[in-house]
């Protein structure tokens, strides 16, 4: 347990999708004057260095956020090969939610440099008003400590609380929130097979306790039965509760394991992921309709790159 460290993955294509959806949802929810509560059940360390050892080792941000920040560099990185089709030309103008995301991340950096990537806790906090509350759950001892230290720098007082607790379990005691308005981001590492089952159980429990909350679940799209079943289960849950939902998925490359002539296997890494939102703002669909094709053009690595979006309820 706990071999997952988000520092290796910060700013990758999954973060780009997740944080774009998160921003679109929060921009809408914070338009209403009434205060709200936000829960980040799997918060991570909060801030990441893009020039640090972890990020450099994986290079994932280079294939993710950096392609948005610097589309020309991305195009060079995917010079067409047999497996890599030439990428679609970078869009001349970014969709509003992508521009919003890019500006928000740039805001954490000195002009002209991109060394810091904000995780979900800092993205959320940036968009909240003073009257809103944010609870962050993180179980990893090191990341929880780093998160507490990072959050302390914000001097946000009682607005932000860091809890070294199991986010699946702890959420229960906070729902329904006194504000009667809430967003829950559920973004586990899926390091353990049980996480898939715990996500759907947590969402079922949360909907029973607080049916009008907005729930955003990130999930990996990988060839594994539990991963395949999760969005289907969430759909059933939302439909049974009579709640609207939206499911957005981004694929950047093929999930095929490549075998060399010597029989060596190269695993592709995470090829795709999705965000499932229950009780989404009515503006989310249009915002993503503009953003997702651009993400395919900017982040796609081969001809399998695509997006999908469906909604119901």
Cα 203 to Cα 196: distance, rounded to the nearest angstrom: 11
- Please identify which residue in 140, 181, 233, 253 interacts with ligand SAM, judged by CB under 6 A: 140
Please, what is the minimum distance in Å from the beta carbon of residue 214 to ligand SAM?
16
Q: For residue 227, which of 42, 3, 14, 52 has the smallest C-alpha distance?
A: 14
Q: Which range touches ligand SAM (CB under 6 A), out of 162-170, 209-217, 224-232, 286-294? A: 162-170
Cα 306 to Cα 300: distance, rounded to the nearest angstrom: 8
**Six-digit token string for 167:** 């986010």
- Please identify which residue in 65, 168, 196, 276 interacts with ligand SAM, judged by CB under 6 A: 168
Task: Between 164 and 304, name the residue whose CB sits nearer to ligand SAM.
Answer: 164
List 134's β-bridge partners, or say none.
Answer: 38, 160
Please, what is the minimum distance in Å from the beta carbon of residue 116 to ligand SAM?
13
Please, what is the minimum distance in Å from the beta carbon of residue 85 to ligand SAM?
29
Place of tokens 């302390």: 152
Asked if 132 is an active-site residue, the reply is no
How many other C-beta atoms lie within 10 A of the C-beta of residue 81?
9
Task: Between 202 and 301, name the residue whose CB sits nearer to ligand SAM.
Answer: 202
Cα 89 to Cα 39: distance, rounded to the nearest angstrom: 38
H helices of 192-305, where?
194-209, 225-241, 284-299
- Please identify which residue in 60, 100, 132, 187 interacts with ligand SAM, judged by CB under 6 A: 187
Give burial (CB, 10 Å; 0-12/13-18/19+) of 302: buried
**Six-digit token string for 206:** 């949360």
How many other C-beta atoms lie within 10 A of the C-beta of residue 107?
10
Task: Between 117 and 245, name the residue whose CB sits nearer to ligand SAM.
Answer: 117
Q: Which residues contact 211 (CB under 8 A, 6 or more apart)?
A: 241, 243
The answer to the question of residue 189 lying near ligand SAM (CB under 6 A) is yes
Cα 50 to Cα 58: distance, rounded to the nearest angstrom: 10
The answer to the question of residue 125 lying near ligand SAM (CB under 6 A) is no
Residues from 26 through 85 that contact ligand SAM (CB under 6 A): 40, 42-44
Q: Which range touches ligand SAM (CB under 6 A), out of 56-64, 108-116, 181-189, 305-313? A: 181-189
The answer to the question of residue 167 lying near ligand SAM (CB under 6 A) is yes
187, 195, 229, 302: the active-site residue: 187
Contacts with ligand SAM by CB under 6 A: the residue count is: 22
Task: Between 100 and 138, name the residue whose CB sits nearer to ligand SAM.
Answer: 138
- Please identify which residue in 12, 20, 78, 120 interacts with ligand SAM, judged by CB under 6 A: 120
Strands 133-137 and 306-312, how do they pair? unpaired
Residues that bind ligand SAM (CB under 6 A): 2, 4, 6, 15, 18, 40, 42-44, 119-120, 137-140, 143, 166-168, 187-189
Which residues are known to be catalytic? 187
């Amino acid at each position: 347990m706990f071999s997952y460290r988000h520092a290796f993955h910060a700013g990758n294509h999954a973060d780009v999708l997740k944080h774009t959806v998160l921003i679109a949802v929060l921009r809408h929810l914070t338009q209403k004057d009434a205060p709200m509560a936000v829960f980040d059940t799997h918060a991570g360390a909060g801030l990441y260095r893009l020039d640090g050892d972890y990020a450099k080792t994986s290079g994932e941000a280079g294939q993710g956020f950096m392609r948005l920040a610097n589309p020309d560099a991305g195009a060079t990185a995917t010079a067409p090969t047999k497996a890599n089709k030439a990428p679609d030309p970078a869009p001349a103008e970014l969709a509003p939610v992508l521009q919003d995301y890019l500006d928000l991340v740039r805001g954490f950096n000195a002009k002209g440099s991109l060394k810091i990537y904000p995780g979900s806790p800092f993205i959320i906090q940036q968009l909240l008003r003073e009257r809103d509350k944010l609870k962050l759950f993180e179980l990893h001892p090191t990341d929880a400590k780093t998160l507490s230290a990072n959050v302390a720098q914000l001097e946000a007082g009682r607005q932000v609380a860091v809890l070294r607790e199991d986010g699946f379990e702890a959420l229960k005691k906070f729902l329904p929130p006194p504000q009667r308005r809430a967003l829950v981001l559920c973004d586990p590492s899926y390091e353990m097979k049980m996480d898939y089952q715990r996500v759907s159980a947590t969402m079922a429990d949360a909907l029973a306790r607080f049916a009008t909350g907005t729930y955003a679940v990130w999930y990996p799209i990988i060839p594994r039965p539990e991963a395949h079943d999760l969005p289907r289960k969430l759909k059933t849950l939302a439909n049974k509760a009579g709640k609207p939902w939206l499911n957005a998925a981004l694929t950047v490359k093929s999930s095929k394991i490549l075998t060399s002539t010597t029989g060596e296997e190269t695993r592709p890494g995470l090829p795709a992921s999705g965000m499932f939102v229950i009780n989404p703002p009515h503006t989310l669909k249009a915002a993503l309709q503009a953003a997702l094709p651009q993400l395919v053009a900017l982040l796609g690595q081969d001809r399998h790159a695509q997006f999908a979006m469906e909604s119901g309820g």
